[in-house]
Amino acid sequence: MGKNLYFLVFLVQLLVLLPWLSIASIQPEKSQTYIIHMDHSRKPNHFSNHKSWHQHTVRSLLSVCPDDKQTFLYSYTHVMHGFSAKLTPCQLAEVEKSPGHLTTYKESFGKMFTTHTPKFLGLNRGSGIWPTASYGKDVIIGVIDTGIWPESESFKDNGMSKVPSRWKGICENGTAFSPSLCNNKLIGARSFKKELEAAGLNISTEYDFDSPRDAGGHGTHTSSTAAGNFVYGASHFGYAKGIARGIAPRAHLAMYKVLWASDTLASAATDILAGMDQAISDGVDIMSISLGLEHTPFYQDVIAIASLSAVEKGIVVVCAAGNDGHAATIYNGAPWIMTVGAGTIDRSLIATLELGNGLTFEGTSYFPESVSITNKYIYYGFNDPKKSGCSALDPRDVKGKIVLCDDSNLNLNAQMYAAAQAGAYGAIFLSESLFLDPDDYSIPGILLHTRYAKEIKKYAMTGNNTLVKSMRFVLTKTGTGPAPQVAYFSSRGPDPITPCVLKPDILAPGVDVLGAVRPDVPFMEAGKYDLLTDYALYSGTSMAAPHVAGISALVKAVHRNWSPAAIRSAIMTTAYKTDNTFGMIRDQTNGSIATPLDFGAGHVDPNQAMDPGLIYDMDSQDYIDFLCGLGYTTKQMMTVIRKSQWTCDENRTDLNYPSFITSLSNQTTYPIEKKFTRTVTNVGDPTSIYRAVIQAPEGMIVSVEPNIMRFTGKYQKQNFVLNVHVEKPDPKLTYGYLNWIDEHNHIVSSPIVIISHL
């Protein structure tokens, strides 16, 4: 497929590993694609179904706008009642005159957020949620992504149960993909691209496959992370070698390809909506989405609207929080979605450096060759301002040498590129930020923290014959720390659309996750060689979301009758807030203590989520009451909830969420009083006594009424009120925790957050 595809694969990997880049920029034409939301109660009786009504509506436009061509794309059944079509301004105006018209959405385009993690999460074969849940047996995870590479070992069906009888999906035929490639693991595979074709994007075999086959590897990676089968001896060029397996290795998988490669990368809201609609119709139990659309109110956010429809049908929807890495940049923050941030794990991929004077150092490296470099000269341009660091390397100075780079004016990617272009044999990078993508190691390189700079530079400046005695690569350490930390790229709260709900909900592994990828195109270049691999390390909230999708599948396998809200509550209230050094979880960027705006309720703990003790449950009416409180118009409400009639509980002011947050304006006067009302359901021991234990900083007084709850039966419900009194909050953030603790070792924990101003 040539160099264009190699560039595409590189770009996909870059998008997964780095903060957001623009995916698509499609210039508007005379006709554009619109999603038309219709009031289903207005369907004339002579139409047998909604699709025939939608198609007739579009065809009838020819009589009013005879010179305008129209293109019907999709009819939506579950995510909303409506259709998408490519329409001219004349046609759109006519559609909007229809008494059945509710809302129009202009097309928008989506972005991706892109072995050891099961052990890091405490999953083991002998005890806990894995054996109890039979590894996710009979649960179906639908992945909305770039497609799948079905021949990967992760998608073999050894040990899998038969396809559940309730399954209605198919494996479609297409380019380099046939239904025979599906099995008892991969039970469904579909693709959706009508809008991209209508927009004129060139989707061809030069860039992608006209089928569910994955051209870039992102969807293959997320699928294998959520539910990949056991694969022995997997590694990233020798790093992280071991058994690769998904979080729910006995769950079934279905792929819905909505992200495509053409001369750009593109994913249209129309196609995303169609994929989600089909997943609901097919009968998935869990939906994993590692992409997002623009920040918009819920009545304009098709992922939020489609997710609410899925949740109403009992489907858990798990989404990536985004890779913007700053405050108030959360994506997919609707309260019915489980929004996942990314954390590090306790595994380090390292290289060692020994200098000619005997000093030794250990640093980070992904250089993909098990080599030992010995007795190479160091080049350090300290004595020439024009050649300092790695900004302006002269090949005559550095060829065949190890370059020492301490250039703060260039990012590490640019420094590696400069060193490689100048012909350096290898490089030592001194940096506060030890973040260099795995596919950027075109020459041997080691990243060392600047705390080692003084010793290394002192030796490098002693003369012209300073040596690197040895550099060794492809070394993996586990049990390193502190871990987890909040990944530097993970989007932080508060949610820009609804800051009244704490987001992200949870933190999960999202850094250096080993997963299956497309194996037949180069992952990277090293020297003169193109290197291929069937497993690779990716980082991003794209990788964190499928971890939680897999955990949700495990909890679902144990508690088949639990609602999506119950499963989310179990995962949130059992999360932990400390790292493996027994300190509080920290921020990878600067080492400071992280907050609930960074990690939500904490880091996911699947074994504890299996038995949470109490849950904060919700149903459709809870979400309707929440939306009523946002002040939406009647038409906006109809758009989100897809109903023409509903009732609002005027006395309900608070969503029954497993966390507590309030945002104050600059005009707020102190002290402040805030009251939260919640209902908990006992899902633990039938006879239990829970006592409220408060963790709060100075100046924050929290009380609970009642502070003791006695349960006499399973699924019994009780209400409580949480009162928060703050004399003068921290200039940015004040937070504490409510812990309900019983005599059976259940700890049901919820963060309490006061944001002083946005």
**Read out DSSP for 657-705?**
-SSEEEE--TT--SSEEEEEEEEEEE-S-SSEEEEEEEE--TTEEEEEE
Percent of the chain, pLDDT > 90? 66
Please give the pLDDT value at position 3.
35
Q: Measured between alpha carbons, how far is residue 462 from residues 126, 143, 357, 362, 375 in Å?
A: 57, 57, 11, 22, 16
Answer yes or no: 81 catalytic: no
103 forms beta bridges with 37
Are residue 710 and residue 734 in the same domain, yes or no? Answer: yes
The whole-angstrom separation of Cα 437 and Cα 242 is 21
497 forms beta bridges with none
Residue 16 has pLDDT above 50, yes or no: no
Mean pLDDT of 252-260: 96
Helix 634-641 to helix 620-628 angle, to the nearest 10 degrees? 150
pTM: predicted TM-score of the whole model, two decimal places: 0.89
Are residue 194 and residue 320 in the same domain, yes or no? Answer: yes
Are residue 189 and residue 322 in the same domain, yes or no? Answer: yes
Q: How many residues does the chain have?
A: 758
Please report whether residue 557 resides in a domain: yes
Q: What is the gyration radius of the CA atoms in the chain, in angstroms?
A: 27
Q: Which residues of 449-472 are buried (b: 16+ CB within 10 A; e: fewer)?
A: eeebeeebeebbeeeeebbbbbbb
Range of the domain at 424: 347-478
Residue 20 has pLDDT above 60, yes or no: no
Q: Is 54 exposed, middle or buried (0-12, 13-18, 19+ CB in 10 A)?
A: buried
pLDDT in tens, 27-40: 334 778 888 888 88
The token pair that represents 161 in the structure block:
């149960």
Are residue 291 and residue 389 in the same domain, yes or no? Answer: no
Task: Return the amino acid letter for 563.
Answer: S
Chain centre to alpha carbon of residue 278? 21
- Of 84, 491, 542, 756, the catalytic one is 542
- Of 81, 101, 138, 145, the catalytic one is 145
DSSP state of 205: T
351 forms beta bridges with 363
Confidence of residue 268 (pLDDT cuts 50, 70, 90): confident
Q: What is the mean pLDDT of the chain?
A: 89
Please give the pLDDT value at position 738.
98
The token pair that represents 326 in the structure block:
């700053």
Residue 1 has pLDDT above 50, yes or no: no
Q: Token match 């992608």: residue? A: 208
User: Which of 215, 224, 199, 228 lies closest to 146 in space, CA to CA?
Assistant: 215
Are residue 329 and residue 420 in the same domain, yes or no? Answer: no
Please report whether residue 630 resides in a domain: no
Least confident stretch, 75-79, 375-379, 683-687: 75-79
**CATH code for the domain in which residue 464 is found:** 3.50.30.30
Are residue 265 and residue 368 in the same domain, yes or no? Answer: no
Please report whether residue 521 resides in a domain: yes
Please report whether residue 509 resides in a domain: yes
The token pair that represents 691 in the structure block:
């006592």
Count the neighbouring beta carbons within 10 Å of the beta carbon of residue 226: 31
Mean pLDDT of 156-160: 97
84 forms beta bridges with 35, 74
Residue 235 has pLDDT above 50, yes or no: yes
Are residue 208 and residue 293 in the same domain, yes or no? Answer: yes
> Residues 583, 113, 207, 526: what is their CA dihedral angle, to the nearest 10 degrees?
-20
The whole-angstrom separation of Cα 286 and Cα 310 is 9
Are residue 32 and residue 101 in the same domain, yes or no? Answer: yes
Please report whether residue 358 resides in a domain: yes
The whole-angstrom separation of Cα 531 and Cα 369 is 10
Q: How many domains does the chain have?
A: 4
Q: Is 727 exposed, middle or buried (0-12, 13-18, 19+ CB in 10 A)?
A: exposed
Count the neighbouring beta carbons within 10 Å of the beta carbon of residue 281: 14
Residue 22 has pLDDT above 50, yes or no: no
Are residue 297 and residue 218 in the same domain, yes or no? Answer: yes
Backbone angles phi, psi at 267, to 5 degrees: -145, 115
Please report whether residue 15 resides in a domain: no
Residue 291 has pLDDT above 80, yes or no: yes
Please report whether residue 645 resides in a domain: no
The token pair that represents 227 in the structure block:
């539910």
Percent of the chain, pLDDT > 70? 91
Please give the pLDDT value at position 111.
62
**CATH code for the domain in which residue 748 is found:** 2.60.40.2310
The H-assigned helical ranges of 395-448 are: 395-398, 412-421
Please give the pLDDT value at position 386.
52
More confidently predicted of 33 and 384? 33
Please give the pLDDT value at position 249.
97
Question: Of 106, 131, 146, which residue constitutes the final position of a domain?
Answer: 106
Question: Of 71, 106, 141, which residue constitutes the final position of a domain?
Answer: 106
Are residue 337 and residue 218 in the same domain, yes or no? Answer: yes
**CATH code for the domain in which residue 86 is found:** 3.30.70.80
Answer yes or no: 542 catalytic: yes
pLDDT in tens, 514-531: 999 999 998 888 877 788
Q: Measured between alpha carbons, how far is residue 723 from residues 265, 354, 710, 752 in Å?
A: 49, 59, 20, 10
Residue 589 has pLDDT above 50, yes or no: yes
Are residue 273 and residue 381 in the same domain, yes or no? Answer: no
Q: Are 324 and 503 in contact (CB under 8 A)?
A: no
Confidence of residue 207 (pLDDT cuts 50, 70, 90): confident
Answer yes or no: 145 catalytic: yes
Please give the pLDDT value at position 731.
72
Q: Token match 């993996």: residue? A: 476
Residue 17 has pLDDT above 90, yes or no: no
Residue 151 has pLDDT above 90, yes or no: yes
More confidently predicted of 636 and 667? 636
**CATH code for the domain in which residue 602 is found:** 3.40.50.200
pLDDT in tens, 450-503: 999 999 999 998 876 799 999 999 999 999 989 999 999 999 999 999 999 999
pLDDT in tens, 123-136: 998 899 999 999 99
Helix 302-312 to helix 634-641 angle, to the nearest 10 degrees? 60
- Of 81, 101, 218, 603, the catalytic one is 218
Please give the pLDDT value at position 112.
59
Confidence of residue 609 (pLDDT cuts 50, 70, 90): very high
Please give the pLDDT value at position 326.
94
Confidence of residue 691 (pLDDT cuts 50, 70, 90): very high
Mean pLDDT of 44-58: 85
Please report whether residue 17 resides in a domain: no
Question: Of 430, 450, 478, which residue constitutes the final position of a domain?
Answer: 478
The whole-angstrom separation of Cα 704 and Cα 706 is 6
Cis peptide before 66 (omega within 30 of 0): no
Pairing of strands 708-711, 338-343: unpaired
Confidence of residue 7 (pLDDT cuts 50, 70, 90): very low
Are residue 539 and residue 472 in the same domain, yes or no? Answer: no
Please give the pLDDT value at position 757.
64
Backbone angles phi, psi at 197, to 5 degrees: -65, -40
Confidence of residue 75 (pLDDT cuts 50, 70, 90): confident
